[in-house]
Chain A
């Protein structure tokens, strides 16, 4: 009788333990999913122009490395590796967004995107101190065949639709245009960013 009660106690413990463990696993997936999808559900779509790292291998296999104009911004005093930075985006008379300024505190208004400082370097052309910032939108996944096809169409020019949430977190969504298509005007709601000349 004692053995049976010990066994049922053990079983009850295991049932509770496994239930909590599986719930925990599903919660991990749920948090990841919500964190990914929330900017798309609630955020504002903008288009960012990508700068090809290497036009010949911009799209590689299943993983596309994208380099945006806002990935390199002027160096800030107090900048340290992995520090969070908020980059405000400025709209000009053509309705185009581009880099305006960067802050360590979250801005109270305006469109801003949240990133982390990766490193600092000096531009070889202008000798200006710059820092590289990543925003979590530098990866774009697509099958290898599609990637090669897209590379062929893009020919070094592409724009990506990015959704930015109210906290500055961004998610890449899709390509807005590739190659020669990037010269035509887009929808009013989605504003294009034209590249500023390399500094």
Chain B
């Protein structure tokens, strides 16, 4: 079923169980209470999405007719039409929303928000506005902001954060500083944390804030006509990675959120945390894979990093480990490992001026151990993504470093043998773990 989940499948299966008197209706109700009821909401969302697309295509057809005759329409008529359509769609959406049909109202208001942007762009075209174009994107986002706060609808919020981020990016490119972006992104983030479950919204807000932080530092310390050299970018990005992991892992275990009464029960911060963590983990492993080659370190000129600036990753590490000190063992071990790896790598190169090949070897070793750690943790806690990522990283490392990690055939043979032992051991450990769980269930 397209919008179904486990609960819906359970309902379907239970018919036979009730007919065969395996369970009673009361027992079924009790079981179903444990599972997510939001599939009902998803079904009605599907209905409204179809309606919405239907309305959207009508709107596009109408706009195409307008575009065909655009040139022959006098400028005042064009302008009045744009004002009228924007006002009409938004008013209709607001009216429907206030009447209690929140989903339908939100869809109309989404169209109204898009219409606002279309009007801004078309007025600029009619009057040949060649002014600074990011301002148009900014005011489009600002026009949507009150609608987002009133409806707390995820689609409107996603449109808002996309526009705000577009404005942020273009402002930086043009040499301006988008000072108000953190406020806008935080508002969108709050919608995802408290009011509307949306992984896409959470990801966009979180990624936007991270990008702003990185760009703000670059903007503040780098001149208009020159930018940071690679070594500084490397330092900032790795420090930000430590901080981001710290926040994401902390999110998975927030016991006392601020303003808990505002938070919708179905919004699970742990889900968000796992979602972002998976993406970050995969990205990190790909990065580490490239860093296991010395050319990557040379590309970033890491040895040129000013040794006084080592304090940045050190402080980020202390902060990230500190906020996760009461978290579970995996979070503590993970954040400590990644912090130590990054900080030690930078210290080795910038302070002790070790060769890049040392850093590459260190990274290979770290990747090897991380793979083992992820496989172990994946099996122990039933987290398939950890297991598979650990497995893939281990296998990829072995296959690609076949020729040049140690240097000779015997060295490579030893590594392959060790890896084979690890993989066989992990398979046996997994089987033992599964058997143990089955035994516990039977008891």
Chain A positions near chain B (C-beta within 8 angstroms) = 11, 14-15, 17-22, 24-26, 28-30, 32-33, 36-37, 40, 62, 81-82, 116, 134-141, 143, 146, 171-173
Contacts and interface: CB of A to CB of B under 8 A. Distances in A.
A32 B87 contact: no
A150 B276 CA distance: 53
B91 to A, nearest CB: 6
28 contacts: A11-B98, A18-B98, A18-B147, A19-B94, A22-B90, A22-B94, A24-B146, A25-B90, A25-B116, A26-B86, A28-B142, A29-B83, A29-B86, A32-B120, A32-B123, A33-B123, A33-B127, A36-B123, A36-B126, A81-B224, A82-B174, A137-B128, A139-B128, A140-B128, A141-B126, A141-B128, A171-B129, A172-B128
Contacts of B174: 82
Given A25-B116, A26-B83, A29-B119, A36 B127 contact: yes
Contacts of A20: 146
A81 B175 contact: yes
Contacts of B128: 137, 139-141, 171-173
Given A17-B150, A81-B175, A172 B91 contact: no
Contact of A15 (B86, B98, B175): B98
A139 to B, nearest CB: 4
A33 B86 CA distance: 14
Contact of A134 (B125, B130, B224): B130
B411 interface: no
Contacts of A173: 128
Interface majority SS on B: helix, strand, loop or mixed?
Answer: helix
Given A22-B87, A139-B129, A32 B150 contact: no
A81 B176 CA distance: 10
A155 B308 CA distance: 61
Given A24-B143, A143-B71, A37 B127 contact: yes
Given A32-B136, A137-B128, A143-B71, 11 more contacts: A21-B146, A29-B86, A29-B119, A30-B83, A32-B123, A32-B124, A82-B174, A116-B132, A134-B130, A139-B129, A143-B70
A143 B71 CA distance: 8
Nearest to B115: A25
A171 B91 contact: no
Nearest to A63: B125
A12 to B, nearest CB: 10
B415 interface: no
